[in-house]
């Protein structure tokens, strides 16, 4: 049950930002602002730009609800600013946010904790012109993606070497480092974490071959099944791995772990989102709803956990 510890504070809902996920963030922020208003909080939506410190002072923000996604919002940058300004904030702290955003670094930690991740090769921009696809230790098809973005921006499923350079070019638009990983076929499963509890797992069935940007945000391009139709022991194993991933990175408040469960029933962790989407139709709220937690209660629970002393 929510404690309403910030009911007398001015809550700034930080949305928008400077990343490729700005529009998704605005939708998240608007939904959160509406939920907080319904619960009686004094909330102020703030469109984040480079004048954010001024805006926080101007609006007399006492607590920040971070509704940002991607670079500068999910990677520890905003978290560091808020700590300098002594403003409590929702979600994970600086270190956990930065590590979760770096897909390769986070995968190294996951593997150290015994959590399987897809076979992956890291490529930086200086290597791109001379890189030969036949040097990979796994065969096509492969998935090419930015190392530090979310919402499936810049991601490509590459069926053959002829399309490889175009995929690299698309991914490098979002940063100087990309991942090339073995394509895994199987069930897309997402685990929602709230506090220190794995709430449940949902299956995503994209209309296309894999879960890309359109499958996430275009209505009708994917089907959601809750709970994910896994064998009971596999379902519990995926929940346990999601919580272990959350703990391994030192995340706080809430997160969402994204898995691919192969036909052999072996789960592979793709990434952990430290600030998952929070529109009323996003996966995290959908998982919470499946276990009896309505959207407003979920938002208030996340706010209750806000801190400025997370590492």
Q: Give residue-wise pLDDT tens across range 158-207.
A: 998 889 888 998 899 888 889 999 999 899 999 999 999 999 999 999 77
Query: Would you kindly state where each structural domain of the chain is located, as residue ranges?
Result: 10-91+299-304, 99-116+185-298, 120-182
d(CA 206, CA 204): 6
8 Å CB contact between 189 and 230: yes
Pairing label, strands 267-273, 120-124: unpaired
Question: What does the pLDDT average to over 49-78?
Answer: 93
Cβ contacts of 23 within 8 Å, gap of 6 or more: none
User: Cα–Cα distances in Å, from 7 out to 33, 87, 118, 225?
Assistant: 14, 15, 44, 35
Q: Is the pLDDT of residue 311 over 90?
A: no
The residues annotated with a catalytic role in the active site are: 21, 151, 217, 256, 258, 271, 273, 277
Q: Is it the case that residue 310 has pLDDT exceeding 60?
A: no
**How high is the pLDDT of residue 147?**
82
Cα–Cα dist 228/108, whole Å: 27
Please tell me the predicted confidence (pLDDT) of residue 134: 82
Query: Using an 8 Å Cβ cutoff, are 282 and 25 in contact?
Result: no
pLDDT at 309 over 60: no
The CA radius of gyration of the chain, in Å to the nearest whole number, is: 19
Q: Which fold has domain 10-91+299-304?
A: Rossmann fold (3.40.50)
Q: Which fold, 99-116+185-298?
A: D-amino Acid Aminotransferase; Chain A, domain 1 (3.30.470)
CATH fold of 120-182? Dna Ligase; domain 1 (3.30.1490)
Mean pLDDT of 95-108: 93
């Amino acid at each position: 049950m929510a404690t309403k510890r910030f009911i007398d504070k001015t809550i700034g809902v930080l949305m928008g930002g400077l990343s490729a996920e700005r529009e998704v963030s605005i939708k998240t922020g608007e939904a959160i602002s509406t939920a907080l208003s319904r619960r009686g909080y004094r909330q102020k939506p703030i469109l984040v730009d480079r004048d954010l410190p001024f805006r926080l002072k101007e609006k007399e923000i006492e607590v920040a609800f971070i509704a940002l996604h991607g670079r500068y919002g999910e990677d520890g940058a905003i978290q560091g600013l808020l700590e300098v300004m002594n403003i409590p904030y929702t979600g994970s702290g600086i270190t956990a946010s930065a590590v979760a955003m770096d897909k390769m670094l986070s995968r190294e930690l996951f593997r150290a904790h015994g959590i399987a991740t897809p076979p992956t090769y890291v490529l930086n921009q200086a290597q791109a012109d001379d890189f030969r696809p036949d040097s990979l230790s796994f065969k096509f098809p492969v998935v090419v993606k930015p190392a530090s973005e979310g919402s499936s921006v810049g991601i490509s499923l590459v069926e053959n070497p002829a399309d490889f350079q175009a995929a690299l070019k698309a991914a490098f638009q979002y940063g100087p480092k990309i991942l090339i990983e073995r394509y895994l076929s199987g069930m897309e499963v997402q685990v929602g974490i709230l506090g220190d509890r794995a709430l449940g797992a949902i299956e995503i069935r994209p209309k296309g071959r894999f879960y890309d940007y359109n499958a996430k945000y275009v209505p009708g391009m994917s089907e959601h099944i809750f709970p994910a139709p896994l064998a009971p022991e596999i379902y519990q194993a995926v929940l346990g791995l999601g919580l272990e991933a959350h703990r391994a990175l030192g995340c706080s408040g809430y997160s969402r772990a994204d898995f691919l469960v192969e036909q052999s029933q072996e789960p592979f962790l793709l990434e952990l989102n430290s600030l998952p989407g929070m529109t009323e139709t996003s996966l995290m709220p959908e998982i919470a709803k499946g276990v009896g937690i309505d959207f407003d209660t979920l938002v208030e629970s996340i706010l209750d956990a806000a801190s400025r002393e997370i590492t």
